[in-house]
Amino acid sequence: MASGTVSSQKQHSTLLHLFAGGFAGTFGAICTSPLEVLKTRLQSSRLAIPDPPTWWWFYYRRRKITSTSRLPEVVKVLKLILEKEGVKTLFRGFGPNLIGVAPSRAVYFACYSKAKDHLNGIFMPNSYTVHIISAGSAGFVTNTLMNPLWMIKSRMQLGLQEKGSKGINTVQCARYIYQENGISGFYRGLTASYFGIFETVICFTIYERLKKWLTETPLTLSANGTNKNSASANFFKYMAAAAIARMLASFVGYPHEVLRTRLREEGNKYRSFTQTVYLIAQEEGLLGFYRGLCAQLIWQVPNTGIVLSTYELIVLLLKDFND
């Protein structure tokens, strides 16, 4: 009877993390979809102009330059999209993104949580080793399962079209990829995604440490005797921890994003991971691997903050509700 209760609790815990991860991922995707389109466009080889330095705002303000030719790349690409393609383009690829983000986040958080629970019984609980292995294994499983949908999404985001014209839908894009490269076409960029697991591992390791540091504060009571460490207070703590963790991890692991986008482009210029590394290094130099970093930070930092804090809040609220 006891073993049945334990089994039921484990199943309930897995479903809880699946639901929380799926809901959080969907919410984050809806909030930041236009920023992701800008980021993907900037990573593409079609915009082979190096990004301005991250201190562009101070640079341009000091020189009082207002010419549109001196605008930051993010602003120029946004302006070009709105003028040539229209507002709808900022939501290109939103269909497969919405279809895929809930199951991908659900699978990731469920795998991460389950791996962490299992490894806590083998290694020192909540140690760096536990967080690194958990994040790495969850990233491997999620990338392998979801790459076909992310391939379709990237192709749709990169596709140019005239303003007012009708773009291809998810099914048409999938059919075109299959006709072009067969089943293997849906797995282009997967090697780069595997390299990106390193970035995810860094992000989650930093996040877990920051979360622990921010939430392990002495409990204090308000004037009416209620606990100040409420769910809403923890929500903002989780968001801050997630945003800082993602920002730090992005600087280290960002090049894989550019490599993945290039491998998913239409055509055969970029054929393999190593060949793409060589081409970018030869044609664009070191800065080529950091194209679109500014847009990546503008998109990924708030997205990660929203997703992780929403996930943590849902898990916390549902656990309290069941208790």
Helix, strand or coil, per DSSP, at residue 168: coil
Most confident of 31-40, 81-90, 155-164, 174-183: 174-183
Phi-psi region of 47 (alpha: psi -120 to 50; beta: other; left: phi over 0): beta
Q: How many residues are listed for the chain in this entry? A: 323
Task: Look up residue 253 and give its amino acid.
Answer: G
Residues 229-241 pLDDT 10s: 555 667 777 788 8
pLDDT bucket at 43, cuts 50 / 70 / 90: confident
* Residues 6+ positions from 166 with CB-CB distance below 8 Å: none
Residue 279 has pLDDT above 90, yes or no: yes
d(CA 235, CA 63): 41
Find the range with the poorest average confidence among 14-23, 74-83, 176-185, 286-295: 14-23
d(CA 15, CA 307): 17
Crossing angle (nearest 10°) for helices 190-215 and 255-264: 140
Residues 80-133 pLDDT 10s: 888 888 887 787 777 887 777 778 878 888 888 889 989 998 999 888 889 889
d(CA 320, CA 231): 10
Residue-range definition of the domain harbouring residue 91: 2-217+226-322
Q: How many of the other CB atoms lie within 10 Å of CB of 221? A: 10
d(CA 87, CA 301): 23
Task: Kindly report the pTM of this predicted structure.
Answer: 0.69
* Residues 6+ positions from 49 with CB-CB distance below 8 Å: 73
Is residue 196 a contact partner of residue 158, using CB atoms and an 8 Å limit? Answer: no
Backbone phi, then psi, for 152, in 5-degree steps?
A: -60, -45
Q: Tell me the average pLDDT across 208-214.
A: 83
The tokens describing 168, both together, are 């291809």
Number of domain units in the chain: 1
The tokens describing 209, both together, are 């440490």
d(CA 125, CA 227): 27
Q: What is the domain-level CATH number for residue 161? A: 1.50.40.10
C-alpha distance from residue 296 to each of 26, 65, 128, 186 (Å):
18, 25, 26, 23
